[in-house]
Amino acid sequence: MAFREVGRVVAILRYPVKSMAAESLASVEVGWNGLAGDRRWAFVRPDMERSGFPWLTIRERPELWHYRPRFVDPDRPDASPTVVHTPTLGELDVLDPALAADLGPGVRVMKQDRGTFDTAPLSLITTQTIAGLAARVGMPLSAERFRPNLVVDATGGDEFPEDAWVGAVLRVGGMRMRVDKRDQRCVMINVDPETTAREPAVLRTVARERAACAGVYGTTVVPGPVSVGDPVHIAP
């Protein structure tokens, strides 16, 4: 099967704790459940355990962007302690009760070995999509705002190239992923990762111009390593 190059990986982002800041990686192993260690931990809102969406997220607490988790051994997330640098308490183990208490009364932490994903274990967005949306909103937008795993600089002149990849298989470094669907967005993209200020025009514009979608979701077809700079190929 002949693959055609459609871009290159320019950033890899992993989220050890759901809805906290990202780790920027030079390389990572991608398994059946996405990036090793991605969304391994999540915090649950009080009395929401039986709801369809119990997680404490940036929607409720925009300042979660300023909580920066990391694996002490980033190459072995399954065996590594996870610590979180907090805005006021310094660095705490993710299991430290002081961290949950800092996030709110009754909040507790939960571990999911397969990751805590809303839709799919892999997410991808292109620099072209980010630039196209920024032009429409009329303000700079960072890739982090959209919380992808992979940021790809696509070849060609298409403004939203990943839309055409839905249903296809991509070879990204040593990994292959199926692109399953467009990524339907929520109010989280209104929150600026640096300032935590909300800008409703972001989601309003994506809803009006893009049917609320930006980027794509996918699943692993063949596990393997991915590094920044790797080419992205598409199967015919």
Segment 51-84, tens digit of pLDDT: 778 999 999 999 999 999 999 998 899 889 999 9
Q: How far apart are CA 9 and CA 229, in angstroms?
A: 5
- What's the domain range around 86? 23-111
Q: Are residues 124 and 165 in the same domain?
A: yes
Which domain CATH number covers 142? 2.40.33.20
Note whether 184 and 157 are same-domain residues. Answer: yes
In a domain, 131, yes or no: yes
Contact 55, 18 (CB under 8 A): yes
pLDDT value of residue 175: 98
pLDDT of residue 51: 77
Q: Is residue 176, in this structure, part of any structural domain at all?
A: yes
Residue 51 sits in the same domain as residue 128: no
Beta strands in 96-212 (DSSP E): 108-111, 122-126, 150-154, 169-172, 175-184
Domain boundary among 111, 131, 150: 111
Query: Based on the domain organization, do 161 and 225 belong to the same domain?
Result: yes
Looking at the structure, do residues 41 and 145 belong to the same domain, yes or no?
A: no
* 205 domain residue, yes or no: yes
Residues 133, 57 share a domain: no
Q: Are residues 211 and 104 in the same domain?
A: no
pLDDT at position 1: 61
18 occurs within a structural domain: no
Q: What is the pTM of this model?
A: 0.95
pLDDT, tens digit, for every residue of 211-225? 999 999 999 999 999
Last residue of a domain, one of 82, 111, 140: 111
Using CA atoms, how far apart are residues 59 and 41, in angstroms rounded to an integer? 17
171, 233 contact by CB (below 8 A): yes
226 exposure class (CB count in 10 Å sphere: 0-12, 13-18, 19+): buried
Shared domain check, 156 and 227: yes
Q: Determine the pLDDT at residue 176.
A: 98
Spatial separation of the C-alpha atoms in residues 134 and 130, rounded to whole Å? 6
Distances (CA, A) of 235 to 106, 167, 172, 218: 48, 10, 11, 15
Among candidates 229, 227, 118, 124, which has minimal Cα distance to 169? 124
- Residue spans of the chain under pLDDT 70: 1
- CA dihedral sign of residues 86, 88, 91, 97: negative
Secondary structure of residue 86 in the 3-state scheme: strand
